[in-house]
Amino acid sequence: MKQYATFAGGCFWCMVKPFHKYDGVLSVVSGYTGGDIPNPSYELVCSETTGHREAVQIEFDDEVISYRELLDIFWRQIDPTDSGGQFFDRGESYQTAIFYHSADQQKEAEQSKLELEKSGKFTKSIATEILPAKSFYLAEEGHQDYYKKNPGHYKRYSVGSGRESFKSENWSE
């Protein structure tokens, strides 16, 4: 059955590629959610006045990939202890969050956060919020599938921001 998962993990450019490679993921789009202003633009969201966060919305087939598996992928893309943004992107629009679409998703998200907290993997508390899903607004076309459209810039950004080294140091198997 088709479902949606919505995650804010800092810059949405870096949050699309990790999900694309999994069977059962039907689509991954970049956008804005969490605020109350309808149809915000990138510039407006970056002004930190809308309450929106950069996020990705994933359409998935839960008979092929579970919400729990998507949560596990999400956690491995971020620094879950950073409450001020992600890597060198700072501010509310870059704060992490899991936006749940059902009571079951809320329960699974809270459980996965608790397990990560108890794992001792990080010395600081897990700062990622778990919030009810709000309207999701697609980002401008230039932001969709950025890693495919601008692979060189995407790689420089992902590495230069510190995201790749953090993932390698903290999430390598």
Ramachandran class of 90: left when φ > 0, alpha when ψ lies in -120 to 50, beta otherwise:
beta
CA distance 73 to 20: 11
Query: pLDDT tens digits, residue range 39-98?
Result: 999 999 999 999 999 999 999 999 999 999 999 999 999 999 999 999 999 999 999 999
Query: What integer pLDDT is reported at residue 172 of this predicted model?
Result: 72
Query: What integer pLDDT is reported at residue 118 of this predicted model?
Result: 95
CA distance 167 to 165: 5
Query: pLDDT tens digits, residue range 141-168?
Result: 999 999 999 999 999 999 999 999 999 9
Task: Name the active-site residue from 5, 8, 11, 25.
Answer: 11
Cβ atoms of residues 132 and 34 within 8 Å: no
CA distance 156 to 159: 5
Query: What integer pLDDT is reported at residue 37 of this predicted model?
Result: 93
What is the pLDDT of the chain when averaged over all its residues? 95
Position 132 pLDDT exceeds 80 = yes
Q: Which residue segments constitute the domains of the chain, with CATH numbers given? A: 2-171 (3.30.1060.10)
Query: What integer pLDDT is reported at residue 79 of this predicted model?
Result: 97
For the record, the structure tokens of 131 come out as 């919030």
Q: 11 an active-site residue?
A: yes
Query: What integer pLDDT is reported at residue 173 of this predicted model?
Result: 58
For the record, the structure tokens of 60 come out as 């998935």
Query: What integer pLDDT is reported at residue 171 of this predicted model?
Result: 84
Query: What integer pLDDT is reported at residue 112 of this predicted model?
Result: 98
| Cβ-based burial of 44 (10 A; exposed 0-12, middle 13-18, buried ≥19) | middle
Terminus-to-terminus CA distance in the chain, angstroms?
31
